[in-house]
Amino acid sequence: MHNVGSRETQQSTREDGEVDVVALRRQRRTDWKRRQGHETYLDHAIIHLRAGKGGDGCVAFHREKFVEHGPPSGGSGGAGADIYIQPTASLTTLSYIPTRIVAQAGGHGKGTWQNGKNGPPTIIKVPVGTVVRELPRDDPRRALDEFEWEETQLAGLDDEGRRAALRKRRWVHYPTYAEDNMQRSEFGDAERQVYREERQWRLQRRMRAQHPIYLDLDKLEHTDAAQDVNAPLGLPRNQQYGHLVARGGPGGVGNPHFLSQDNRSPKFATRGRDGERVSLSLELKLLADVGLVGMPNAGKSTLLRALTGGRARTEIAGYAFTTLNPVVAVVRVRGDGTFDGWDADTVYDETRVEAARDKALMERGAFADAPTRNHQRADGETYKPLETFRFTVADNPGLISEASDNVGLGHSFLRSIERSPALVYVVDLSAAAPWDELRVLKEELEKYKPGMSAQAKMVVANKADLLAAAGSAEAVADAKAKLSRLEEFVRTELVDRESGRALDVVPISAKFNMNLRKAVELMQRYVEEARVEESA
């Protein structure tokens, strides 16, 4: 039995006192989705990378029949794997990227001059629109780099113990010859040469730290050669795998490297060096042609679902903050100006309570001239011309007052619309003062990033059906008066400073798919202008 006293059950109780099981299940499903939202979508992450360690060199001597004491034949170790970052269009979240990534080490050298193989590159795929920043040295979230980590391993040792530990980390000796090697002058010369090379390695690493990594991955890159087995061998690595962010350590050298006139039988080799350790901040800023901006429960999700013919998987419910994560969908425009979903005689609302009656009333109300049907051919069949244009629209979480100070979903919302060349304000026309909503939206955009409100191109007055459904003359007059006041506010307060043109105002009902054709035509025009400007 259901607990009728619970808040959830009370909201799902019909007028006759019986529990609406379907509504209850829908509410539970929606609550579950809301709880899962921040786990399945992530637009900011800190990751720690460790490039592959180089393989150790080998100490070996050639042996074959009739050759009892052959020359040194130890192979060198392979280089550790590099780590690359590559933008891809198949991802929309950072939640799939591990917080710690360790690349594969290079192979160790073997006898008979067999060198170890290099570690295969590690490619981190991130969504298009990701900004990659290396954490500075004073950031407490940064992990230790390879040299700082080595110092922690040597902490607490005296000079003799420190020297022994460093030698153990850098040298490979032939069995039982470690003490003998350290007494030889040839080993001292080799050790000084290795330390000189290490100082150069440290200097290069320090110089790279002066120029931290910063990547704005706002475009796809040509990386087909990485999967093409017939790609030219001379193609640079950065064109194949993406952007290099951590270099693998070089492999150690085998004992033939130390062969000289004075040392005909070198019995030592070097170990591979550690790869670079880097801490990166990943910030996802979605790329969409049009971004919907509005208060919670203004109807943005319903609008996106109507524009895409129901393909956009957006949550629609009667409470605020139903959209916790940005959703990007594609709008496909046909040759006659219609779009996919225009011909669907569908009510875009999960409740669907008396939808047919409300729609009939609205068609006789203040917005009766809004088109609701497709043009029909003489034989009665619907004519569907081919698609001629497409663009993407982003449904973003609701924006509230003080969102620029990270109140509510705050920066997660604002970050997702920052890149959209055209923004569309979505307001609830049935609210008491939709113009106040517009004022708050503009102010929060400007506080977050000055000049960001200039990207706004249109005001969509949604939920016009709630004003027109009454059908009376008084309701029609009130609806038209409210729309006129909204248009007057836009003409006086929301004027483009550069062009001097006020934003377009379009009253619609996303729920009943009314007057959306005009909104799509305007959106298409904004996108075309932005693309022409970008190409120029």
Length of the chain: 536
Helix (H) or strand (E) holding 473: helix 473-493
Encoding tokens for residue 247?
A: 């270099």
Q: What is the pLDDT of residues 33-54, one digit of tens each?
A: 545 544 445 678 899 999 999 9
Measured between alpha carbons, how far is 77 from 109 in angstroms, rounded to an integer? 4
Helix (H) or strand (E) holding 522: helix 516-535
Measured between alpha carbons, how far is 271 from 172 in angstroms, rounded to an integer? 6
384 HSE (CA, 13 A, CB side)? 10
Instruction: Break the chain into its structural domains and give their ranges.
Output: 44-284, 290-535
Beta carbons of 249 and 80 less than 8 angstroms apart = yes
pLDDT at 467 (0 to 100): 66
pLDDT at 114 (0 to 100): 95
Beta carbons of 121 and 223 less than 8 angstroms apart = no
pLDDT at 307 (0 to 100): 83
Find the angle CA(76)-CA(79)-CA(80) to the nearest 5 degrees. Answer: 135
Measured between alpha carbons, how far is 422 from 530 in angstroms, rounded to an integer? 8
Q: Would the CA dihedral through 355, 358, 361, 364 be positive or negative?
A: negative
Compute φ and ψ for 533, nearest 5 degrees.
-65, -40
Measured between alpha carbons, how far is 374 from 517 in angstroms, rounded to an integer? 11
pLDDT at 287 (0 to 100): 73
Alpha carbon distances (Å) from 297 to 172, 354, 401: 67, 20, 14
Burial (CB count <10 Å: 0-12, 13-18, 19+), residue 55: buried
307 HSE (CA, 13 A, CB side)? 29
Q: What is the DSSP string of 165-210?
A: HHHHHHEEE-TT-HHHHHHSHHHHHHHHHHHHHHHHHHHHHHHHHT
Q: What is the pLDDT of residues 459-500, one digit of tens each?
A: 988 877 766 555 567 777 777 888 888 888 888 888 766 667
- Using alpha carbons, select from 217, 203, 286, 273 the residue that is nearest to residue 245: 217
Tokens 């007028």 correspond to 15
pLDDT at 308 (0 to 100): 78
Those residues of the chain that have pLDDT short of 70 are 1-20, 23, 26-27, 29-42, 221-239, 310-325, 341-385, 398-413, 415-416, 466-472, 496-499
Measured between alpha carbons, how far is 312 from 395 in angstroms, rounded to an integer? 9
Beta carbons of 216 and 131 less than 8 angstroms apart = yes
Q: Which residues pair with residue 130 across a beta bridge?
A: 217, 284
pLDDT at 317 (0 to 100): 42
Q: Options 3.30.70.360, 1.10.3720.10, 1.10.10.10, 2.70.210.12; which CATH number does 44-284 get? A: 2.70.210.12
pLDDT at 69 (0 to 100): 83
pLDDT at 408 (0 to 100): 43
Measured between alpha carbons, how far is 329 from 290 in angstroms, rounded to an integer? 10
Written in H, E and C, the secondary structure of 258-299 is HCCCCCCCCCEEECCCCCCEEEEEEEECCCCCEEEEECCCCC
* 44-284 and 290-535, same CATH topology: no
pLDDT at 250 (0 to 100): 95
Q: In angstroms, how far apart are the furthest CA atoms of the chain? A: 113
Which top CATH class is 290-535?
A: alpha beta
Stated pTM of the model? 0.69
Measured between alpha carbons, how far is 385 from 138 in angstroms, rounded to an integer? 59
Measured between alpha carbons, how far is 474 from 468 in angstroms, rounded to an integer? 10
